[in-house]
């Protein structure tokens, strides 16, 4: 399995409705991209204070690396990714992506 972890620094001006719409669009990808097992999205709730400015994020679990690779180029994912980059502080510099093989 692959855990695709993405941490986001959303712009301070981003409306809560848009944040929720982005999360809903991510969750909807599970219905159109084969091999996506689960999607979890939301704000950081850790009391440790070690988030480095990343206050939101999501984790997608894939069956295998092939499913992850199909996701990366799928047009629906590309569209949601563009929305996320637009909503992130500094564009792609407002994102941290980490893929973990389990």
pTM score, two decimals?
A: 0.93
Q: For 49-73, what is the mean pLDDT?
A: 96
- Dist CA 90 CA 102 (whole Å): 31
Structure tokens at 101: 């093989």
- pLDDT bin (cut points 50, 70, 90) of residue 99 is very high
pLDDT per residue as tens digits for the range 8-43? 999 999 999 999 999 999 999 999 999 999 999 999
Identify which of 65, 52, 67, 70 has the alpha carbon closest to the alpha carbon of residue 8: 52
């Amino acid at each position: 399995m692959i855990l695709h972890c993405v941490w986001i620094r959303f712009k301070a001006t981003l409306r809560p409705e848009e944040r929720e719409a982005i999360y809903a669009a991510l969750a909807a990808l599970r219905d159109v991209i084969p091999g996506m097992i689960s999607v979890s999205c939301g704000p950081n709730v850790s009391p440790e204070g070690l988030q480095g400015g990343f206050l939101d994020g999501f984790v997608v679990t894939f069956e295998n690396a092939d499913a992850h690779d199909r996701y990366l180029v799928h047009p629906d994912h590309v569209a949601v990714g563009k929305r996320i980059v637009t909503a992130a502080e500094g564009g792609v510099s407002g994102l941290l992506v980490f893929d973990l093989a389990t």
